[in-house]
Structure 1
Amino acid sequence: MRTKGELHWIIPDCYIPADSSGSLESHESICVLNINPEDALLSVTVFFEDRDPIEGIKVYVAGKRTKHVRTSSLKKDEESIPVGVPYAVEVTSDVPVIIQYSRLDSTQPENALMTTMAYPLA
């Protein structure tokens, strides 16, 4: 039987806009679907152009559940992702999961919503 999901995912194009307009805040989310009965333990690494990565951020996703993780909430010790800075994300999981990535850009009154599947590394 084919496994549903992967253990290793890459999201190369990430950016939290520094500005928002109106009542919606610009943000990005890593959307995780765990269709397995077991809970998933994810490890997130955030890469930057000009600084060392933030490594080993832990995220739990219950079995047969989904979780939407705003990247602005990811922290390791007191280090977090700054707004207005390009970054990339690597996600590993101890059970196969499916990952989608979404960005809401509300820097203008005409909001833009982008979503794409993350790149799975088999």
Structure 2
Amino acid sequence: MDPIGATTWVVPGGRIPFPSHGEEPEFTSFDQVCVLNTGDHPAQVELTVYYTDQDPVGPYPFRVPERRIRHVRLNDLVDPEAIRLARPYGLLLTSSVPVVVQFQRQDTRLPGALALTDVIAHPVG
């Protein structure tokens, strides 16, 4: 199958909720990108994080095999540095092949409450 999607995606409205309530890891608040690669070649993906008050941080590289999906919790990214909790950020995602990107947030800041949000990231080009 020919790959679908784009090679550049943006998410302008990131903010990992903090603190979390509930058992880890299922009920830890998180932001996450879900990357779908429908093509016949692996996707070499890089994330760059933009903040309001400092230079961009990254890249955070990862791979998505051909004809597969990969979910990446942004809370788990620590190299070159951990993404700041409860701070607004934006993401730039670039890929070596066209992919489709979804952004998810799980918010468990309130005890006994769970909020989930899913949106398609914005493709560039």
**Structure 1 and Structure 2 fold alike (TM over 0.5):** yes
Contact 2:3/2:38 (CA < 8 Å) preserved in 1?
no
Q: Structure 1 segments of 4 or more deviating over 4 A?
A: none
Mapped to 2, the partners of 1:21 and 1:55 lie a distance apart of 29
CA distance in structure 2 between the partners assigned to 1:75 and 1:103 by the alignment: 18
Q: For 1:79-119, what per-residue CA distance to the aligned partner results, in whole angstroms no more than 9, with x for missing partners?
A: 12011111110001010000000000001122100000000
1:27 to 25, 30, 45: 30
Residue 106 (structure 2) aligns with: 104
Task: Name the residue aligned to 2:55.
Answer: 52
Partner AA of 2:107 in structure 1? D
Structure 1 residue corresponding to 2:121, chosen from 114, 118, 121: 118
More strand by share: 1
Which residue is 1:72 aligned to?
75
- Is the Cα contact below 8 Å between 1:104 and 1:111 reproduced in 2? yes
- Checking the alignment, whether the CA contact within 8 Å between 1:54 and 1:76 is kept in structure 2 is no
AA partner of residue 34 (structure 1): N
Measured after TM superposition, the shift of residue 20 of structure 1 is: 1.0
- Structure 1 residue 17: deviation in Å? 1.2
In structure 1, the partner of 2:85 is: 83
Give the CA deviation at 1:75: 3.1
Segments of 5+ residues of structure 1 without an aligned counterpart are: none
Instruction: Count matched residues.
Output: 121
2:43 aligned residue (23, 36, 40): 40
Normalized against structure 1, the TM-score is what? Answer: 0.93
Assess if the C-alpha contact under 8 Å between 1:8 and 1:121 holds in 2. Answer: yes
**Percent identity among equivalent residues?**
33
Q: Secondary structure at the match of 1:72?
A: helix
Q: Is the 8 A contact 2:3 2:37 kept in 1?
A: no
CA RMSD in angstroms comes to 1.5
